[in-house]
A and B are shown apart, each in its own frame.
Chain A
Amino acid sequence: DADVTQTPRNRITKTGKRIMLECSQTKGHDRMYWYRQDPGLGLRLIYYSFDVKDINKGEISDGYSVSRQAQAKFSLSLESAIPNQTALYFCATTDSGAEGRNEQFFGPGTRLTVL
């Protein structure tokens, strides 16, 4: 089984709809991240969480919110989706030890289309 899973894998929605993307991990890591990937822009950080009670905004958090329901679960919500939120979304995890030197482990991604 995959260590980091994301649901759904694909989603098409309409402008103004609320949508939630979910991420679960079995790696036992305390740090979790949400990124979006756009062609030519690489990955940009939306939100990150160092533990259940510690949630931080990334560089592009406007229009998004998150919930860390448990150490293993981190959800991303779009309260009112708009077309420019069409992108590939990735969840990632990392261990808090060896600050900054640890690799991130990525889920398979969610392709979101907002019409």
Chain B
Amino acid sequence: AQSVTQLGSHVSVSEGALVLLRCNYSSSVPPYLFWYVQYPNQGLQLLLKYTTGATLVKGINGFEAEFKKSETSFHLTKPSAHMSDAAEYFCAVSEMDGSFKTIFGAGTRLFVKA
């Protein structure tokens, strides 16, 4: 079974600073990769996903992520943090065993300081 590791349960940045949230997966074949965001008292919503094609994927709210097969990574970045980016972020992969279940990482809570 696949696993997803998010480095850092909490990340704090200043407003306007670079956001970098790390995600590594374990898979012998390139999986389908997702980043979801969860705002307080809400369900998760999709930020972006990688299935095939271009390895740099752009999502909503200025976020992007790059799939690096050699590093089994799918890190999420945003050049300039905004206060409204404060939320919890989950990296996820689709299980490639025919069940196509989604495996979620433990989540990274992003704090943005004024």
Contact = CB atoms under 8 A, between A and B. Distances in A.
A binds B: yes
Interface of A: 4, 33, 35, 40-45, 48, 56, 58, 90, 92, 98-101, 103-104, 106-109
Contacts of B99: 56
A103 to B, nearest CB: 4
B43 A90 contact: yes
Interface in B60-103: 90, 94-96, 99-102
A48 B107 contact: no
A44 B102 CA distance: 9
A104 B107 contact: no
25 contacts: A4-B43, A33-B102, A41-B106, A42-B90, A42-B104, A42-B105, A43-B104, A44-B104, A48-B101, A90-B43, A92-B43, A92-B44, A98-B51, A99-B100, A100-B94, A100-B95, A100-B100, A101-B49, A103-B46, A103-B49, A104-B44, A104-B102, A106-B45, A108-B41, A108-B43
Interface in B29-74: 32, 34, 41-46, 49, 51
Given A100-B32, A101-B32, A107 B96 contact: no
Contacts of A101: 32, 49, 51, 94
Nearest to B1: A59
A19 to B, nearest CB: 20
Contacts of A92: 43-44
A45 B92 CA distance: 12
A33 B95 CA distance: 15
Contact of B96 (A58, A100, A109): A100
A94 to B, nearest CB: 8
